[in-house]
Amino acid sequence: MEPIECGCAPMFLTPAVPDDPFFKAGPDGYHLVSRGGKPVWEPMPSWPRSGDADAGWTQLPSGIILQWGTAGVEDWDYISFPRSFPYACYNVSVTDRTVPPNGDIHVVGVGSRGVSQQGFTVRLIPTAANPGSPIYWIAIGI
């Protein structure tokens, strides 16, 4: 795939207006970059990746690996990564996906049982009315 001129106003030099092609999606497999002050659609880098919006991973050119997923959690649960980190997992962030109809909010955090190259333990502190909850998680490592 070759770069494609997008016909947009020069990036960062003029105020963008809603009908500017800069605001329109590019061709599949392309992203907008600035080359010599001119916006150009370039092919997306083919970084290693696998998965979809619900669970997957990608490895950036720097070697950093990002992994993400969703899970249903009750009390303490072990979550396996889509793939093991070859060297180390540096961080896991967890977010509750729902607010139950009665307004009670679950407190979600990475449990003290630890993070490894293969996965992590998450702790959900439930309310009496809501014993479990789905979560989103993202992990960063190498």
pLDDT tens by residue, 42-99: 776 666 678 777 899 988 878 899 999 998 887 788 999 999 999 999 999 888 776 6
Q: What is the pLDDT of residue 131?
A: 64
Dihedral of CA atoms 56, 68, 104, 107 in degrees, nearest 10, equals: 140
13 burial type by CB count under 10 A (0-12 exposed, 13-18 middle, 19+ buried)? exposed
Task: List domains and CATH numbers for the chain.
Answer: 4-43 (no CATH), 49-141 (2.60.40.3940)
Q: What is the pLDDT of residue 45?
A: 65
Task: Read off the pLDDT of residues 95-123 as tens digits, 9 standing for 90 and up.
Answer: 877 666 666 666 555 565 689 999 999 88
Q: What is the pLDDT of residue 94?
A: 87
Name which of 103, 111, 110 is nearest 129 in CA terms: 103
pLDDT band at 15 (very low <50, low <70, confident <90, very high): very low
Q: What is the pLDDT of residue 97?
A: 74
Instruction: Say whether pTM exceeds 0.85.
Output: no
